[in-house]
Amino acid sequence: MLQFTDHDRALASGDLGPAAAMAMRIITAIAEANGATRLIDVTSAHIDSCLYHGDAGLDFAERLAGDGGRVMVPTTLNVSSLDLLHPGLFRGDARLRERGRRLMAAYVAMGGTPTWTCAPYQAATRPAFGEHIAWAESNAIVFANSVLGARTDRYGDFIDICAAITGRVPDAGLHRDEHRRARVVFRLEGISDAVLGSEILFPVVGHLVGRRTGTRVPAIVGLPTDASEDALKALGAAAASSGGVAMFHAVGRTPEASTLEEALGGLAPEREIVVGQATLDAGRAELSTRTEGALSAVSVGTPHFSLAEFRTLVDLIAERHVAAGIEFYVNTSREVLAGAAAEGLVLPLRAAGIEIVTDTCTYITPIMRDHEGVVMTNSGKMAYYAPGNLGVGVAFGSLADCVASAVSGQITFDAAGWR
Amino acid sequence: MTVRPLLAGTATGSVLVLDEPLSMWGGLDPETGELIDRRHPQSGARLDGCILVLPSGRGSSSSASVLAEAIRLGTAPMAIVLAEPDDIILLGALVARELYGLVHPVVVADEATYRSLRTGERVTIADGELARD
């Protein structure tokens, strides 16, 4: 039975406005469906509903905004369907452009910060360990839970803004200890140092883990304990695409998994799965639908490129130029782009023929010009969704493979780094 | 038969039992009501007007937006019967009720009830009751 505080009752009664009351009706229905006995405070929200999927989503945002809805906690906004900084890149129709713009305006009017990024965890301020937050967007959810140790359930369209307006969420799901412990163990065994040092290990492992665990929390044993945040970002994004993973433990690396026993909460796993080189090879192969043929584009930064990734890309390009006829896109946030520009990392990329996309993403909005050839990416998430969303063939490789292919105009893979 | 209403209301229609979970995003065309996930075993089925019976939702939270849009356009199932609660499906139906006053009930059936439902039979859902016509 769900218990309300006095503040909850004030929100629900309409004393704090009709938008808060509507948000509270929705939060309450979700709490009751999940058997929650109380609501808890959140310290931040990240909104995914600002991406246009039809007029119902626009009607909802404009109703809340028109009824005076205002966010009660610091709220960031996910990618949208438009790049407001570089609008010339948009190739959709005028109606989609107008609806997308109105949706973005409604969320800004309610007090959302126009961050337009799927990687709010790359911002200067981010949630601390143990903080309860209401984040939407699958890769942001899995990063917050797994890497930051903050606590968010799988929020998504509609409930994200309801949580931001009320500051309250059901005490359920990944807010609670018992749902955060690992149920399935993946053990990497017999993997060479070269493969363990490879950037693509992480999206490949994420892809395999998502395929095998669905929505359960996995613990992964045998990953490098010095894995970078970008590596864990790639792992989580892939696992949240091929499965519904909202949290993983990388034993020895992530904050609730200093040991396997801690990750498991002292209990036995339901299942243990050994991952050897043959399984990794199969997972890697699954992420490409095409490994040869004409290359038309390279797309990286899905999830959004970090400052560290900008530095690596500038080094890899090494003052060369993308081959004629090849499009090369880097997706990132305004904040990271400003940081990269301040370090002098943007001009060398533009000089190389690379286009930088902010506020949105090349696999959810019409940006790419050429859909005939193969698109290459180092993102497990992009590789998973692009064939369906964009109808393109995808070649999956490392960032170095992407650069080498873009410069030569031919799809190439560094075989030596994966043995 | 007793069911657990997540969103209470009444609906009558012909049952369509889906053999696998469905992501509405990428799986339901809100313009036509067609099941468009080509990897789903019932790809091509029409969902508009039916009592949709499915184990659970799947995948992207954007499915809530797609369901709300289908309800707005009149191409959605009249009611949804689940084997387990699903926040994303419930949210889509809740928002459509808030915005348009259109009530498409969402209920959870126990295992015996769930397994007894057959595609093509007509049923009526009234809050916590599900009856064959």
Residues of B within 8 A of A25 (CB-CB) are 94, 98
Band (pLDDT 50/70/90 cuts) for residue A89 is confident
- Which of A32, A33, A56 faces B95 most closely, judged by CB atoms? A56
Q: Is B88 on the interface with A (CB under 8 A)?
A: yes
Residue range A74-82: mean pLDDT, rounded = 90
Residue range A42-66: mean pLDDT, rounded = 95
Q: Which of residues 9-68 of A touch B (CB under 8 A)?
A: 22, 25-26, 29-30, 32-34, 48-49, 51, 53-57, 59-60, 63
Given A153, A177, A201, the domain boundary residue is A177
User: Is residue B125 within 8 Å of B4, Cβ to Cβ?
Assistant: no
Number of domains in chain B: 1
Given A129, A149, A177, the domain boundary residue is A177
Residues of A within 8 A of B26 (CB-CB) are 388
Do A165 and A199 belong together in one domain? no
> Quick one: pLDDT at residue A90?
74
Tens of pLDDT along A165-175? 999 999 999 99
Do A73 and A194 belong together in one domain? no
Given A177, A205, A234, the domain boundary residue is A177
Nearest CA in chain B to A242: B59
* A185, part of any domain: yes
- Six token digits for residue A323: 């081959």
Could you tell me the residue range of the domain that residue A138 belongs to? 6-177
Do A88 and A153 belong together in one domain? yes
Do A106 and A251 belong together in one domain? no
Residue whose pair of structure tokens reads 């017999």 in the numeric block: A190
Number of domains in chain A: 3
Do A22 and A169 belong together in one domain? yes
* A1, part of any domain: no
> Which CATH number do you get for residue A133?
3.30.499
Tens of pLDDT along A134-146? 999 999 999 999 9
Q: Which residues of B are catalytic?
A: 60
> Quick one: pLDDT at residue A93?
81
* A18, part of any domain: yes
Residue whose pair of structure tokens reads 């993973």 in the numeric block: A245
Residues of A within 8 A of B30 (CB-CB) are 54
A33-52 burial: b if 16+ Cβ within 10 Å, else e:
bbebeebeebebbbbbbbbb
pLDDT > 90: what percent of chain A?
84
Question: Structure pTM?
Answer: 0.94
Could you tell me the residue range of the domain that residue B22 belongs to? 4-132
Interface test with B, best of A28, A53, A67, A363 (most B CBs within 10 A): A53
* DSSP conformation class of B46: B
Q: Which of residues 2-21 of B touch A (CB under 8 A)?
A: 6-7
Do A345 and A383 belong together in one domain? yes
> Which CATH number do you get for residue B62?
3.50.30.10
